Amino acid sequence: MTSRSRRRFLRSTAVAAAGALVPGIVRAQTSVKVGTAVLGDYALAGPFVLALEKGFFAQEGLAAEFVPFRGGPNLAKAVIAGEILVGATGATDILVFREAGMPLKMIATQTEGNHFTLNVAPEIQRVADLKGKAIGVTLIGSTTWVFAQIVAKQQGWDPDRDVKIVGLGGLDAQLAALTRKEIHAFVWGDGGAVTEQQGKSSQIQYASEEAIKKNGEAIRKATRAIFRAQHFMRASPQDAAAIAAKKLGWSVEATLGAHKISGPLLSGDGTISVEALRTMQDTLLEHGVIKKRLPLDDHYTKEFIPVRV
């Protein structure tokens, strides 16, 4: 069992939209695929699961299929390729991927705060104890990897030499590796205990530039369905947890525990905080995760906000 130290950590969740719709019409509904960077994060995947299970996508005229991925970079590739219309991932991805020339833009804030967690083995009493040990992340280059890098640099370590950062995929793989002592910590969302860190950010939604041009109405409908689900999560946490728990593979009690961490952070209308984006950019620059300060307004559009539900 992991110990639950309390050091809150920069966390950003983002929603992405791709350039092409999935072909096919089902009962006059537009077929789309939606995805998240991982499954085991209630604030990330919960709104998608609930929008599907409660029929919110269908009520918007969308026949949606939900596809969880094994990390933000994999989701981003699918978004840009047009395989996924709307997805959710870490908001740091937009800064990292835009610097790499990927045509993505934020479209809305999904959560207004941070809930990234550093989950450690029982023998780890402080962050300094992780020197020379392995830290699990979803994928190299993902948001969890970014924050593992930041943890190392805040300790004055070389992240390539003083710790080993390992891409393991989903939450089950992280927990199994922790049990086998192959890693001594892993970075995750509300599926683990919150480890507090300095800083602030907001969680945001983003879309490909091609999608904004070609499929704006479908993006608008999908986003509205997701935000209806977020309103439901806040208004009826017990009912929402019971529905989401089945898909997440968690107990209802564990899902409610995640809701206590991240539920209050769910955005009501998607308003984008440029200040939060600037804070994230400053942090990534400070720790060498990105090298260039691109104009902030290159990263987002306000075409889809505020979201009206």
Q: Are 57 and 125 in contact (CB under 8 A)?
A: no
Residues 110 and 122 in one domain: no
Q: Which alpha helices (DSSP H) does 41-91 contain, by range? A: 42-53, 56-59, 72-81
Mean local confidence (pLDDT), 76-94: 86
Residues 18 and 107 in one domain: yes
Please identify which residue in the block is written with the tokens 């209630």.
42
Residues 207 and 107 in one domain: yes
Residues 109 and 225 in one domain: yes
Residues 92 and 146 in one domain: no
**Burial of 41 by CB count in 10 Å (0-12 exposed, 13-18 middle, 19+ buried)?**
buried
List, for residues 139-181, the tens digit of each pLDDT value.
887 888 888 998 998 899 999 999 999 999 888 888 889 989 9
pLDDT for position 21: 52
**108, HSE (Cβ side, Cα atoms, 13 Å):** 28
pLDDT band for position 223 (50/70/90)?
Answer: very high
d(CA 146, CA 219): 28
Please identify which residue in the block is written with the tokens 């620059």.
285
What are 281-290's contacts with CB under 8 Å, separation 24+? 281/95, 283/10, 283/150, 283/199, 283/201, 284/92, 284/95, 284/96, 284/146, 287/149, 287/150, 287/153, 287/154, 288/153, 289/92, 289/96, 289/146, 289/149, 289/150, 290/95, 290/96, 290/99
Predicted TM-score (pTM) of the model is: 0.80
pLDDT band for position 283 (50/70/90)?
Answer: confident
Residues 204 and 233 in one domain: yes
List, for residues 156-166, the tens digit of each pLDDT value.
999 999 999 99
Count structural domains, the chain: 2
